[in-house]
Amino acid sequence: MIETERDAEFIIKAQKGNKNAYGEIVKLYMKRAYFSALSIVGSHDDALDLSQEAFIRAYQSIKKFDTTKTFYTWFYKILRNLCLNHLRNKSNRVNSFSEILEDLENIKDENQSTEKMVEQNETKKIVWQAIWKLTPEDREIITARDILNTSYEDIAGLLQVPTGTVMSRLYYARKRLRKIIEELQ
Amino acid sequence: MNIELNRFQTLLNKALDNMLTDEERIEFNSLLASSNEYQEEWNSLKQIKEITKTMKLKNPPEEMWDKYWLGIYSRLERGIAWILISIGAIVVLIYGGFKAVESVIQDPTLAWFLKAAILLLIAGGIILFVSVVRERLFLRKSDKYKEIVR
């Protein structure tokens, strides 16, 4: 069963007021929503709160949702707006590297020396700081592609732009990231 | 935009994401060989990509996922509770207001102009309230940019 058909069954029930059916939708997409929010706002608590708030708003408008479309694409628009508004209303602080990312210690490579791993961790910290200095839109596209491994087609669907535009935005975002890294080093 | 540069950007992205076909790889390599600037850009972006691809967002504790839906369900319930409280409060306020006006009008000790002033005050307040509500509702319905982040 394809994603849209599977979701439609639950959504039609949710549109009739069945909260448990909506709960199934939430369970299917909560991790994706949380990590998308985390990659934009860079804080665990905010990502949790904003992703839950987006599910609440989506439920409040669920009757308007066209079940032939992809739920997550529709939902992502709500989530993205909430995250971007949140960043605009909040003073931007550089989020702790260790709060968001797995330490290299947790992804041990038998072939690498401790010094090499420490050095890599330091470089990662600089890159993370640079990612955080990007605009939320640049950060969103870089993290979607490079950290969350989202395909170009999926990013295009989520941002509702052609794939060519995704590639072009990604190219310029990567160039801006490179410039910031050079300034930080 | 320069067609060659545009093509380079596309191929560079694909190369960084390991998505080049054999033909595209040949084309990309010949572009790199044709310009030091392209070569330099490729080297630096490849280095960054090597780092970003090892970055992994931390998984929250498993119990967070267990409580995730419950958190949403509780907030939805609270939303309904607030709606019910608001409806109840509005009904009580309207009834209280009506009774207050009634007692003012029926009070023989109050001068007629004072009664008229109180009525004008209430009428003004109601018109103002309706006007603001109507404006908000109209904006909500017709603002095609409401989804756009300003």
Domain ranges of chain B: 3-52, 62-142
Domain assignment present for A37: yes
Least confidently predicted of A110-124, B50-64, B135-149: B135-149
Domain assignment present for A45: yes
- With CA atoms as reference, report the closest residue to B70 among A151, A67, A115, A30: A30
Q: Band of the pLDDT at B1, cuts 50, 70, 90?
A: low
Report the CATH number at residue A127. 1.10.10.10
Flag whether pLDDT at A105 surpasses 70: no
List all residues of chain A from 99 to 158 with a beta carbon under 8 Å from chain B. 99-102, 104, 107, 120, 123-124, 127-128, 131, 142, 145-148, 152
Give the model's pLDDT for residue B148.
Answer: 47
Q: Percentage of chain B with pLDDT > 70? A: 92
Q: Band of the pLDDT at A7, cuts 50, 70, 90?
A: confident
Distance from CA of A84 to the nearest CA of B (A): 7
Interchain contact, A48 vs B60, CB within 8 Å: yes
Domain assignment present for A97: no
Are A123 and A82 in a shared domain? no
Entry pTM = 0.75
Are A82 and A126 in a shared domain? no
Q: Tens digits of per-residue pLDDT, B39-95?
A: 999 999 998 898 888 888 888 888 999 999 999 999 988 888 899 999 999 999 989
- Report in angstroms the alpha-carbon separations of B58 from A118, B15, B22, B85: 18, 27, 36, 40
Flag whether pLDDT at B144 surpasses 60: no
Q: Which of B13, B53, B56 sits opposite A170 (nearest CB)?
A: B13
Are A47 and A110 in a shared domain? no
Flag whether pLDDT at A128 surpasses 50: yes
Which residue type occupies B94? Answer: I
Q: Tens digits of per-residue pLDDT, A15-60?
A: 998 999 999 999 999 999 999 999 888 888 999 999 999 999 999 9
Looking at beta carbons, which residues of chain A come within 8 Å of B52?
Answer: 127, 131, 142, 146-147
Domain boundary among A89, A111, A136: A89
A27 contact B CB<8A = yes
Q: Band of the pLDDT at B109, cuts 50, 70, 90?
A: confident
Alpha helix (H) residue ranges in A42-135: 44-60, 71-89, 97-100, 114-133
Are A37 and A69 in a shared domain? yes
Give the model's pLDDT for residue A16.
Answer: 92
Chain pair A-B, CB pairs under 8 angstroms: 103
Flag whether pLDDT at A94 surpasses 60: no
Looking at beta carbons, which residues of chain B come within 8 Å of A175?
Answer: 41, 45
Average pLDDT over residues B83-112: 89
Flag whether pLDDT at B149 surpasses 50: no
Domain assignment present for A152: yes
Q: Band of the pLDDT at A144, cuts 50, 70, 90?
A: very high
Domain boundary among A54, A89, A124: A89
Distance CA A20, CA B85 (A): 24
Distance from CA of B130 to the nearest CA of A (A): 25
Interchain contact, B56 vs A107, CB within 8 Å: yes
Average pLDDT over residues A59-69: 89
Residue A176 belongs to domain spanning: 102-184
Q: Which of A107, A127, A147 sits opposite B57 (nearest CB)?
A: A147
Distance from CA of B91 to the nearest CA of A (A): 24
Give the model's pLDDT for residue B69.
Answer: 93
Distance from CA of B131 to the nearest CA of A (A): 26
Average pLDDT over residues A157-171: 91
Distance from CA of A102 to the nearest CA of B (A): 5
Flag whether pLDDT at B150 surpasses 50: no
Domain assignment present for A115: yes
Spell B119-138 as b/e; 16+ CB within 10 A means b. eeeeeeeeeeeeeeeeeeee
Q: Which of A55, A147, A164 sits opposite B55 (nearest CB)?
A: A147
Are A73 and A35 in a shared domain? yes
Domain assignment present for A66: yes
Average pLDDT over residues B121-133: 91
Instruction: Collapse the DSSP code of A101 into the 3-class scheme (helix H, G, I; strand E, B; otherwise coil) and give the result.
Output: strand
Domain boundary among A49, A68, A89: A89
Are A129 and A180 in a shared domain? yes
Domain count, chain A: 2
Are A41 and A72 in a shared domain? yes
